[in-house]
Amino acid sequence: MEKADTPLDDIRANIEKTCKIARRSPDEVTLVAVSKMHPAEAIIPLLEQGQVHYGENRVQEAQSKWPGLRDRFPDAQLHLVGQLQSNKAEDAVALFDVIHSLDRSSLVKALGKAFDKLGKRVPCFVQVDVGKEDQKGGCPIDKLPDLLDQAREAQIPLAGLMCIPPLDTEPAPFFAFLDKLARDHELDGRSMGMSGDYETAIRLGATHVRVGTALFGERPEPA
């Protein structure tokens, strides 16, 4: 009997199909499975299917879940997709392989210091506040050139730009805008697109899509 497709199979197929339509290679798009709030038992089946990249939004939660999983699956790559406090920078650098939420000067300093101390430099996406929504974090658009200069000066490896468009708005213009900003600043990576809009994001140049609910189902409510 044939095994039923898993959500991961479906999303991989959708990414491939979308890349074909957009005349892009699927190798250009990294699927980051956002496993925040989901327990290790929910993540293991994906690890067993060869899914490599995972996103978490809290340093502490990731510290409790991932060391054990990584013992079993040493190839797993961890992406921090949530806001990062400067005083957690060192913990984040120790644990994560990619950071998607560099958004201010104080964090450039904290990360630079943590990199030097740990002898490890983690690629960072600079998060841009494309929807002018303070609460989501992100660098204001007009401050981006300065922040990129500071990051380069601090020898932070720049992976690209990241955005979270406003809820309940057509996301395409925001994705197109982030793509243009990345091009203007000669950055390769575009971390954009989530469960509801990753195909749109891929058509507009996403290199990293961050998909949670479509892979894992609804997140458990916080206690």
Ligand X SMILES: *Cc1c(COP(=O)(O)O)cnc(C)c1O
- CB of 42 within 8 A of CB of 35? yes
Q: How far is the CB of 82 from ligand X (least distance, A)?
A: 6
**CB-nearer residue toward ligand X: 82 or 171:** 82
**CB-nearer residue toward ligand X: 89 or 191:** 191
Nearest residue to ligand X, scored by beta-carbon proximity = 212
Q: How far is the CB of 50 from ligand X (least distance, A)?
A: 20
Q: How far is the CB of 118 from ligand X (least distance, A)?
A: 24
**Site residues, ligand X (CB under 6 A):** 34, 36, 57, 81-82, 164, 194-195, 210-214
Q: How far is the CB of 1 from ligand X (least distance, A)?
A: 31
For the stretch 130-139, contacts whose Cβ atoms lie closer than 8 Å and that sit 24 or more positions apart, written own/partner, are: 130/163, 130/164, 130/165, 130/174, 130/177, 130/178, 131/163, 131/164, 131/165, 131/166, 131/169, 131/174, 133/166, 136/164, 137/83, 137/101, 137/103, 138/103, 138/163, 138/164, 139/103, 139/104
**CB-nearer residue toward ligand X: 82 or 189:** 82
**CB-nearer residue toward ligand X: 155 or 169:** 169
Rounded Cα distance, 188 and 206, in Å: 10
